[in-house]
Amino acid sequence: MMKDKAPRAYARGIFKYFSERNPPKHYPPSHKASEGYPLSSTNSRSWSSAKADKFAIVTGASTGIGRAIAIAFAKKRAKVALVARTKDRLQQTKDLVEKAGGQAEIFPADLSKLDSINDLISRIKSKTKKVDILVNVAGIWHGENEVYAARDFADFPQQVILDTYFVGIIAPTILTHAFVPLMGKGSKIINISGTFESGAKGWLPYYVSKRAIEDLTVGLSEELKEKEIHVNAISPSDTATDAYKKYFPQYLEEAIKPEEIAAYAVYLCENNLSGKVTVLKKDKEPFESFHR
């Protein structure tokens, strides 16, 4: 399996950042991810005090980081639209959301296909006239039984490159394009990146898709400034999702928990910062990192 071949530099570095080389410029909260985030800053508004429940869309909600974010949002009384391909895993997330006291509906969709994305948009629009939060989590860094690591660019199948770009950057772009008109002042868009300090070698399609989503984040934040729609990216370091456990069990101790990423997503929803790409890394304070 690829994981056996992946040199430690890749495993350690895949989701790590430019942090050591570029010292952090900005620390939004002075808390570690594991301690949760302050929810009482002057420009924050707690969901629990909001009049109406929020409508949130979370892609990649069938597992891992997306599932953790859906559950965290449900605890804040959001109604969550759960998007991914696998129906039974989406249903499991829905069950967990309901167990947490929230509401969710599943929207199976293949984000590697434009027709399926457009069908998803129609289905969601038939259910809601407003979207308060869009979280683009779905991304491709592995297949069913292989991790796309330590692979020469020329050895990537064309389809893997296309799917990685489609799910990782085209779908978030098209979903954002469709749902921004349904967003009001104070709405949030959160994109999940995952850039890493060891660079692109061995992971080029993934790397490109993640750099692109950071550009989308920063550009969109400028574009939507007057509308007061806030756009940020979270760039998680190695995160102990099921997929990570499967491919990199030997590095689990270095991995942050998906719930910590979810806590930061909640923090972003309760505050008005915009245009930030924030790295979350185990035992480190969150710090800003953008490749400009």
Ligand X SMILES: NC(=O)c1ccc[n+]([C@@H]2O[C@H](COP(=O)([O-])OP(=O)(O)OC[C@H]3O[C@@H](n4cnc5c(N)ncnc54)[C@H](OP(=O)(O)O)[C@@H]3O)[C@@H](O)[C@H]2O)c1
Contacting residue, 197, 214, 238, 259, with ligand X by CB under 6 A: 238
CA gap 10, 5 in Å, rounded: 10
Q: Is 110 in the site for ligand X (CB under 6 A)?
A: yes
Q: State phi, psi for 103 to the nearest 5 degrees.
A: -120, 140
Pick between residue 41 and residue 92 the one whose CB is nearest to ligand X: 92
Q: Out of 243, 254, 257, 285, which residue is the one contacting ligand X (CB under 6 A)?
A: 243
Residue 203: HSE in the Cβ half-sphere, 13 Å Cα cutoff: 28
Residue entry with tokens 């965290």? 72
Distance, CA of 92 to CA of 71 (rounded, Å): 11
Q: Does 84 bind ligand X (CB under 6 A)?
A: yes
Indicate whether 150 belongs to the interface with ligand X (CB under 6 A). Answer: no
- Span interacting with ligand X, options 37-45, 69-77, 135-143, 174-182, rule CB under 6 A: 135-143
**Does 134 contact ligand X by CB under 6 A?**
no
Number of residues that bind ligand X (CB under 6 A): 31
- Using CB under 6 A, pick the residue from 37, 94, 97, 112 that binds ligand X: 112
The least CB distance from residue 166 to ligand X, in Å, is: 7
DSSP 235-285: EE-SB--HHHHHH-GGGGGGPBPHHHHHHHHHHHHTS---S-EEEE-TTS-
For residue 241, state whether it binds ligand X (rule: CB under 6 A): yes
| Residue nearer to ligand X on the CB measure, 7 or 184 | 7
Strand partners, 106: 82
Is 13 a binding residue for ligand X by CB under 6 A? The answer is no
Q: Which is nearer to ligand X, 31 or 142 (CB)?
A: 142
CA 13 to chain centre: 18
Which of 13, 28, 29, 64 lies at the binding interface for ligand X (CB under 6 A)? 64
CA-nearest of 229, 55, 71 to 127 is: 55
8: which 2 tokens?
């430690």
How far, in Å, CA of 15 to CA of 13, rounded?
6
Mapped onto helix, strand or coil, the DSSP state of residue 150 is: coil
> Does the protein bind ligand X through residue 278 (CB under 6 A)?
no
Per CB under 6 A, 93 contacts ligand X: no
260 is a contact residue toward ligand X (CB under 6 A)? no
Q: Residue 275 interacts with ligand X (CB under 6 A)?
A: no
CB nearer ligand X, residue 44 or residue 116:
116
Separation of alpha carbons 119 and 131, rounded Å: 17
Report the interface residues with ligand X, using CB under 6 A: 15, 60, 62-66, 84-86, 89, 109-112, 137-142, 167, 192, 194, 236, 238-239, 241-244
